[in-house]
Chain A
Amino acid sequence: AQSVTQLDSQVPVFEEAPVELRCNYSSSVSVYLFWYVQYPNQGLQLLLKYLSGSTLVKGINGFEAEFNKSQTSFHLRKPSVHISDTAEYFCAVRKASGGSYIPTFGRGTSLIVHP
């Protein structure tokens, strides 16, 4: 079985500062990795996904993530955040083959952007 650890439950940051949200996973097989964002009173929306190929993945709203197989990490970054980026961010992992392809979600990281 796979698991996901989001190391920070809350990340406060000032507007226009860079941010990194950390995600580590464990799995005995190849995986697909996802980052979702949840704005207040809304469902989760896909930010970006890593399936294969280039380890640097670009997503919506200026976010990007880097897959590091040796460190089993998939950290999310943005060079300059906006107030509107305040939201909950979820990392998810899913087996790349075999089984039911059901994702495992992390506990989430609350990004709080201060003016």
Chain B
Amino acid sequence: DAGVIQSPRHEVTEMGQEVTLRCKPISGHDYLFWYRQTMMRGLELLIYFNNNVPIDDSGMPEDRFSAKMPNASFSTLKIQPSEPRDSAVYFCASRGLRQEINQPQHFGDGTRLSIL
């Protein structure tokens, strides 16, 4: 089975540029999560979707961050404009069907973002 697929794996860009991170969840999973991981703050939940609908975006740090899920097999996290403090590893995770409430999350390998 293909796991959660994230792209790109690494992104280096200059401050002020737009950054788009992509995620393909496991087929059939109806929950999708975006996390940010830094040394200072650990693993932070930014936003999650259920059936393509954003449920809780209270973890999104600023209006510069936005996330979309246009269909069940694709999601994007966009930062515009980017700032050096956005440098982190961004993870996407998905989880199985709602009735399987004890199922764990499955994580992608992350996108390592560096803003210069």
Could you list which residues of chain A lie within 8 angstroms of chain B, going by C-beta atoms? 32, 34, 36, 41-46, 49, 51, 90, 96-97, 100-103, 105-108
Residues of chain B within 8 A of A96, CB atoms compared = 102
B interface, over-half SS: strand
* Minimum CB distance partner of A44 in chain B: B107
> Cβ of B34 < 8 Å from any Cβ of A?
no
The answer to whether A32 and B102 touch (CB under 8 A), given A43-B91, A44-B107, A100-B56, is: yes
Within 8 A of A (CB), among B93-116: 93, 101-102, 104-110, 112
A41: contacting residue among B33, B43, B45, B109, CB under 8 A = B109
Decide if B104 touches A108 in the complex (CB within 8 Å).
no
Number of chain B residues close to chain A: CB under 8 A: 21
A interface, over-half SS: loop
A15 to B105, CA, bound (A): 30
Residues of chain B within 8 A of A42, CB atoms compared = 109-110
Decide if A101 touches B101 in the complex (CB within 8 Å).
yes
> Cβ of B70 < 8 Å from any Cβ of A?
no
Decide if B56 touches A43 in the complex (CB within 8 Å).
no
* Minimum CB distance partner of B98 in chain A: A101
Q: How distant is B52 from chain A, measured CB to nearest CB, in Å? A: 16
Decide if B102 touches A90 in the complex (CB within 8 Å).
no
A105: contacting residue among B42, B101, B110, CB under 8 A = B42
Residue interface bits B2-46, CB-to-A below 8 A is 1, else 0: 001000000000000000000000000000010000000011010
The answer to whether A107 and B42 touch (CB under 8 A), given A32-B102, A51-B102, is: yes
B91: contacting residue among A34, A44, A49, A107, CB under 8 A = A44
Residues of chain A within 8 A of B101, CB atoms compared = 97, 101
* Minimum CB distance partner of B10 in chain A: A41
* Minimum CB distance partner of B33 in chain A: A102
